[in-house]
Structure 1
Amino acid sequence: MNHKDMVIKVQQQMPAKRWNHTLGVMQTAEKLALRFGADVNKALIAATLHDMCKHWPVEQQAEAIRESGEWLDILDYDKQLWHAHAGAYVAARDCEVTDPEILDAIRYHTSGREHMTLLDKVVCLADYIEPGRDFPGVVHMRELAEHSLEEALIAGFDGTIQFLIEKKQIIYPLTVLTRNDLIKEIKLKQQEVIE
């Protein structure tokens, strides 16, 4: 399926507000990919498809996850995470996406994962900071994104974790592991500069 057809398919599945968000993520992912050297085409495809299942009924999302036979543990956590895993599966099934890097960028755009690829970081951060987002700390994240994907993502995950703690919500363990891994990555880079 070509990108134009993907755009049409995704746009038909969501309300105008969510489509505007998707357009913002596409625009931001392209900028971040150019800034940090990621594959722009892959970033655009992943950004286009990242929320394709967001407005599906949760049972339909769960059904897609069960049908995939993978990452079933996500069903034990917040339903807000499900659309990413369902989306990766549906992108492969319905949009003929075969590139595992694109599918992973879709799958992990909400939670992150340890050892995130450059594409993972670009799509995840684009989802956080696209122009339509307005939450405490987003301006700071955009400033950090001028020079570091990792620092901006840590700020995003810190905010997400703090929000979940304040709401007494369960935190998906992979989000904490992702944050810790990004901190290790930054420290390792700093250590390499010193040496």
Structure 2
Amino acid sequence: MVYSREQLMEAVSAQMPAKRWAHTLGVMETAVRLAEQYGADPVKADLAAILHDVAKYWPVQKLEQMIKDHGLSSELLDYDKQLWHAEVGAFVARQEYGVEDQEVLDAIRYHTSGRVGMTLLDKVVCLADYIEPGRDFPGVNNIRDLANHSLEEALVAGFESTIQFLLSRRQIIFPLTFMARNDLIKQLEANS
């Protein structure tokens, strides 16, 4: 079945509390704006944003089972459960909602962690998730300001905010986030 945008929004919103759906709507709006500003495909940005948290409120046991049963990135199981929904969400987007565009699937998959070699769409969706209007955490306004001038600068600030938050709580940090941050800094240095 091919889902219309409205059917997709209805199916996804039914899987989360109203507050998380409001977040998703904010990510959609922000992703489209960033896509238009930086030259990414706004239709793809909108689609990835609609689906980015599709599995966020699934029971942890279901997420874990899907990762194991479908050969998804099992290294995630050694890290924070907050990362699992992105990997499962990309799988669900393909299997249940018929999304075939690898760029969209990757933007969903890496919206929490980032990755080395982030595509423009990866950057847009990841950053939109950080700075959508409903987000309120220390430093978010600085990240929003940076987003007006540079996706990369804003994402570095976002990843550093996440890393500092995890460090302050003595939590394990997913290596891909460090690697994504470092790769973005290399990109910035190469372009300066």
Structure-2-length-normalised TM-score:
0.97
Question: Is 1:25 equivalent to 2:27 in the alignment?
Answer: yes
Match of 2:191 in 1: 189
Does the CA contact (< 8 Å) of 1:125 and 1:152 recur in 2?
Answer: yes
SS at match of 1:170: coil
Count of matched residue positions in the alignment of Structure 1 and Structure 2? 190
Distance (Å, rounded) in 2 between the aligned partners of 1:90 and 1:157: 26
Uncovered stretches (5+) of structure 1, i.e. residues with no partner: 191-195
Q: Secondary structure at the match of 1:95?
A: coil
Matches within 5 A, 1:158-173: 158-173=160-175
Which consecutive aligned stretches of 4+ in structure 1 deviate over 6 angstroms post-superposition? Answer: none
Q: Which residue number corresponds to residue 57 of structure 2?
A: 55
Q: Which amino acid aligns with 1:54?
A: K
Please give the residue correspondences for 1:39-50 in structure 2 after superposition, counting only pairs within 5 Å. 39-50=41-52
- Cα distance between partner residues in 2 of 1:117 and 1:181: 12
Match of 2:127 among 125, 128, 142: 125
Shift of 1:114: 0.2
1:105-156: CA deviations, max 9, x gaps? 0000000000000000000000000000000000000000001000000000
Which whole-Å deviations, capped at 9, do the CAs of 1:134-184 have from their partners, x for residues lacking one?
000000000000010000000000010011111000000000000000000
Q: Aligned residue for 1:193?
A: none
Aligned counterpart in structure 1 of residue 7 of structure 2, from 2, 5, 11:
5
- The answer (yes or no) to whether the contact 1:25–1:47 under 8 Å persists in 2 is yes
2:15 partner amino acid:
Q
Residue 85 of structure 1 corresponds to: 87
- The CA RMSD measured in Å over matched residues stands at 0.7
| Structure 2: distance between partners of 1:181 and 1:189 | 12
State the 1:67 CA deviation.
Answer: 2.9
% of aligned pairs identical? 61
2:175 is the counterpart of 1:154: no
Of 75, 78, 85, the match for 1:76 = 78
Structure 1 residue 62 displacement after superposition: 1.3
